[in-house]
Amino acid sequence: MKFRGLDPRTRWLRWGLVAIAVGIVFGTTGPKAMDALATTWETNRSMLPWVFERLFAFLAYFAMTGSVIYGLLLSTKILDVIAHRPITFTLHQDLASIGLGLAAVHGMLLGLDKTVPFSLAQIAVPGLAPHAPLWVAAGQVAFYLMAIVVASFYLRRRIGQRAWRTLHYVTFLAFLGATLHGLLAGTDSGAAWAWWIYVGSIVGVVFLLVYRIALSLGGSRAVRRANV
């Protein structure tokens, strides 16, 4: 697909709609969130590490899911119509790095959360967690896999493009591990809003992955027909 970009005459309309959407989200959820934090501060300050630990957990999951979806959109060349590839590739890399950093903060806050106390070894070593060890291990392994993927961005020239592409498939394992971790180890996973976050992420990733595979198979068939 050839880069065309969006019509510059609609720039203010696009940004205006984004600003309205952001305003609606913050306007409807912001006051309730602030009231909940204020109540927690007044009544049970020991829960604040749990609140922020869960907040960083979801932010990390959003960033990692965004990176996976962005990577699939890049591979299908859908984004090439509206943005230059170097820009979209950089954003894909940044989302992965941000997700890794937020996940690290999430892990460190576990050490401050007294609801289910974690030692440093239990935070770092899969299988030692005092709560849901198998599913916590899935999140820990996902973190280490994402660390490998993020490192590969900076080593891409040394390891070569083909090896980098092959290594990049690890991202799907990391997404799977993080999703299982959130669904089965999160203390708020039973909430409807949390459940829909994970289901929506799974649907988006699976849809784009199937679409990417279909494009690849269609391209292979076209090449074989051309060589006949």
Per-residue pLDDT tens over the stretch 93-108: 899 999 999 999 999 8
Amino acid type, 82: I
Over 60: is that where the pLDDT of 164 sits?
yes
Amino acid type, 165: R
Task: Give the pLDDT confidence score for residue 225 in this predicted structure.
Answer: 65
Exposed e or buried b per residue across 63-98, where buried means at least 16 C-beta atoms within 10 angstroms of its C-beta: bbbbbbbbbbbbbbeebbeebeeeebbebbbebbbb
Structure token digits, residue 207? 């849809």
Task: Give the pLDDT confidence score for residue 48 in this predicted structure.
Answer: 75
Arithmetic mean of pLDDT over the chain: 82
Specify the pTM. 0.80
d(CA 224, CA 136): 46
Structure token digits, residue 74? 């890049």
Name the pLDDT band for 219 (thresholds 50, 70, 90): low
Are 66 and 146 in contact, with CB atoms under 8 Å apart?
no
DSSP result, 107-122: HHHHTT-SSS---HHH
Are 136 and 185 in contact, with CB atoms under 8 Å apart?
yes
Tens-place pLDDT, residues 29-48: 667 767 766 776 666 666 77
Exposed e or buried b per residue across 158-171, where buried means at least 16 C-beta atoms within 10 angstroms of its C-beta: eeeeeebeebbebb
